[in-house]
Structure 1
Amino acid sequence: MEATEEEPLYVLTALLLTPAQFPSVLGDDYPAACGRLGLEPYAEGYGLILAQDGDGARWTVATEDVTDVACAVAAWDCGMEYDLSPREEVVTAVLPGWPLDVAVAAPGMPAPHDPEEAEEALAPPDTGTWGAPQRRLGADEIALRWAEWREEVEGSVEFAAEGDGPGGRLGEVLGEARDYLETPPPPGRVRSAFASGEARTLRADGPGWSMVARTDDIAFVLLDEEPGEVLPVGRGTALPELLAGLDGLALRPAL
């Protein structure tokens, strides 16, 4: 693809930035994620392309052609080739740096680095510290490896009840999630994705907290104020109703 006629960019990977599906490292909700990149939170969303120029400099390209990026991601996930090269007229922004780590590398390319002319470049969060981005990344990991986390707590950790947890903070978190049922939060604060069987994987975020749950099982909560801690919440009598309500208002990926 080309950022300009003079500067070709080589695509490494791509991802979606939509109300229902966005890199959670960027923010607790879709408007916050767009704001991190200086983009308007349009309902249609964007595609994000992570690329390098001929010198190896990192660039993030935001495109309005969400369908093209979604097709590319789906093809790559299936091991198929897809030429992702958005037209110049659909490119919204070309930003220096990458907002998250990229596992793939372009053969024969110089090592990735920030553009020399950039005063400030996007960068992945420091995994050696703990804060909101790391908390959200932790929730991503639990959602991705649900079975492993579920097995780890089964029979070895007492499930927290509502109101338990550091300083009663866990019961405040569940209360804030319940408030979403009465006052819908910003787009993307609650998201729903496929799980096994007829269940859904729920993701809810709020000021200082993230929750991952399955509609047919338990929940895990992470807090900014508890570095690296994962608090399991037993199903009990109240959680099923809360999860069903959150799933009812959650945004779902189109694909």
Structure 2
Amino acid sequence: MARSGQAMSDGEGTVAGADDAAADDALLVLTAMLLTPSRFPSVLGDDYVAACDALALEPYEEGYGLILGQDSAGARWTVVVEDTSQVAVAIAAWDCGMEHDLSPDERSMVCALPGWPMDLAVSAPGVPDPHDPDTDGEGPAPLAPPDAEAWGPAQRRLGADEIAAQWSAWREQIDDTLFPLPGTTGEPGSDAEGQVANDAEADADARDGTGADQENDPSSFPRHPGVRRALSEATAYTKTPPPPGRIRSSYASADVRTLRVDGPGWSMVARTDDIALFLLDEEPGTVIPVGRGTSLPGLLTALDGLAAQGL
């Protein structure tokens, strides 16, 4: 594969130059990403198995590398390779602003899929503008990014990824006074839709018709029914582990991890030492915070213990 120039992971950055001698079947590499249980493009699915299924790949534990680029005619291609180590090294170099030639051995290639699963902010110079290749109706339909003007599972997961990547900026927008400390009383403000209820309300909400105390169930605290459902399903993960990649954990600081958890219709972003933020299919573009309270810390710790661990 010919490299078109310096690229950045996740489709960001600029292209520095082109290989003038690129052969007709060469791929001008623009960016690359990993498809592994701990790190995969969320646009493809809620978990690693679903992401592989979206590309008609077997969900092998070792995972794959995805290389996005253009051929000499400008057509968009996504090349799947088995050499995840080489792809990971290239991504790390690009993220540090370094040039790195990504040219996997052809024996590592699994398949070449038409199109790109997400939009890229770059294109290869010296070739026509990016477009889907003409496959004469043979093979799979070209991959395409989700509609940026719509809201659905893919957009919800991409939104959660953005929050995870920019946690500090999003966290600064959350008013901590919305989350009463354990042991306090009083009615919270009406605009605190995603808050943890105070102890008195939690005690009342946490009892079912038989009077059984469920105060350790985090889903009994938030008022939004979608968040209650999401927390209930996340709690169920700790009893019956979900498919690989449904829970992902990445480094945040020395003793803190960032959690990304997905489920049917919901996505959660959390720091193990802080609050959780939820996005729901039924609430387009809305971020709903849930305070730590007495139960969330234990849930986050349990989820982190089950997570596919990234860097």
Classify the TM-score, shorter chain. over 0.9
CA RMSD of aligned residues (A): 1.5
Residue equivalent to 2:214: none
List aligned pairs for 1:87-102, cutoff 5 A: 87-102=105-120
1:78 aligns with 2:96: yes
How many angstroms apart in 2 are the aligned matches of 1:231 and 1:79?
35
Of 24, 47, 51, the residue aligned with 1:33 is 51
Residue equivalent to 1:46: 64
Structure 1 residue 98: Cα displacement: 0.2
Give the partner amino acid of 2:158: L
Residue equivalent to 1:151: 172
CA contact (8 A) 1:96 1:118 kept: no
1:160 aligns with 2:187: no
List aligned pairs for 1:213-228, cutoff 5 A: 213-228=270-285
Of 125, 130, 140, the residue aligned with 2:151 is 130
Corresponding residue pairs, total:
251
Give the partner amino acid of 1:232: P
Structure 1 length-normalised TM:
0.94
Structure 1 residue 160: Cα displacement: 2.2
Structure 1 residue 180: Cα displacement: 0.6
How many angstroms apart in 2 are the aligned matches of 1:173 and 1:234?
15
Structure 1 residue 107: Cα displacement: 2.2
1:104 aligns with 2:152: no
How many angstroms apart in 2 are the aligned matches of 1:87 and 1:107?
24
Of 156, 161, 171, the residue aligned with 1:140 is 161
How many angstroms apart in 1 are the aligned matches of 2:170 and 2:256?
17
3-state SS of paired residue (1:147) = helix
How many angstroms apart in 1 are the aligned matches of 2:229 and 2:81?
39
Give the partner amino acid of 2:195: A
Over the matched positions of the two proteins, sequence identity in percent amounts to 62
Structure 1 residue 35: Cα displacement: 0.5
How many angstroms apart in 1 are the aligned matches of 2:27 and 2:126?
14
Unaligned residue ranges in structure 1 (runs of 5+): none
Q: Whose radius of gyration is greater, 1 or 2?
A: 2
Unaligned residue ranges in structure 2 (runs of 5+): 3-22, 179-191, 197-218
3-state SS of paired residue (1:152) = coil
How many angstroms apart in 1 are the aligned matches of 2:291 and 2:24?
57
